[in-house]
Amino acid sequence: MKTTSSIISLKKVYKEYLLGDETVFTALKDINLDIYQGEFSAIVGPSGSGKSTLMHIIGLLDKPSRGEIIINGKDVAKLDDNQTSILRNSYVGFVFQQFNLLNKLTIRENILLPTTYSQSTMSFNPAERAEMLMDKFGILSKKDSFPNKISGGQQQRVAVARALIMKPQLILADEPTGNLDHKTGNEIIDLFEQLNKEEGITIVMVTHEPKIAERTRRQIKVFDGEIISDKK
């Protein structure tokens, strides 16, 4: 799919950790990055390279020490915590290595969870969308089950459905195959490829696995807090 406009731009972004007035560690240095609508990208790099920090900045989970984060022409780095939370809930869906499902909630309730935090009027029926996503991902028969009663692959499908429930502009996946066996991990990447190709969903995935990264169309390599290559 052709990329179109940038959905998020990072301009001269730094993330520094201070002790008093002294910088003791710089996690990100002069990051300039555009993520475009319809991309399927991977952020790659060794442990400690800054790739997870970069993901947190892109996903509005953290704010830069310096620099701009531009979404829809606005510098969201200047928003207060409540404004950032509202934007994040509608703008980005997250998929984590550990699934991050709540065992006390059913599969259906886990998927619907982001809708309960929404502070704006939704343009869709959450219950109907949840049913559609569960059916699409082959987990509809498990809707009344609890996460600890289904397989790891099924749990990750639940996590993907939860990430999509709010119709976000961007899906961020942090090591989404890390807790899965090789076959199941490839099935999850197959699912991402399908969502990207057929529905044009923008996906950015953090991974340290080269073979997983090679299945995306763009690899952004991070080392020592800097982007050292960006291959399309």
Span 13-69, pLDDT tens digits: 999 998 888 888 999 999 999 999 999 999 999 989 999 999 999 999 999 999 999
Find all residues with CB under 8 Å of 230, minimum gap 6, and list them.
33, 218, 219, 220, 221
Q: Is residue 129 part of a domain?
A: no
Domain that holds residue 65: 6-99+169-231
Residue 3 pLDDT > 80: no
The per-residue pLDDT for 1 is 43
Residue 146 lies in a domain: no
CB 204 within 8 A of CB 55: yes
Give the model confidence (pLDDT) of 88-131 as tens digits.
Answer: 988 999 999 889 999 999 999 999 999 987 767 778 899 999 99
For residue range 163-178, what is the model confidence (pLDDT) as tens digits?
Answer: 999 999 999 999 999 8
Has residue 49 been placed in a domain?
yes
Residue 153 lies in a domain: no
Q: Residue 130: inside a domain, yes or no?
A: no
Reported as a pLDDT band with limits 50, 70 and 90, residue 8 is very high
Q: What is the CATH number of the domain that holds 226?
A: 3.40.50.300
The pair of structure tokens assigned to 162 is 């939860």
CA 187 to mean position of chain CA atoms: 18
**Are the C-beta atoms of residues 152 and 97 closer than 8 Å to each other?**
no
Does residue 55 fall inside a structural domain? Answer: yes
**Partners of 8 in beta bridges:** 35
The pTM score is: 0.90
Give me the torsion for CA of 119, 120, 126, 130, rounded to 10°. -70
Query: One-letter amino acid identity for 225?
Result: G
pLDDT score for 4 = 67
The CA distance from 196 to 202, in Å, is: 6
Contact 218, 225 (CB under 8 A): no
Looking at the structure of the chain, the number of domains it has is 1
Q: Are 205 and 176 in contact (CB under 8 A)?
A: yes
Asked, for residue 39, whether it belongs to a domain, the answer is yes
- Residue 177 in domain: yes
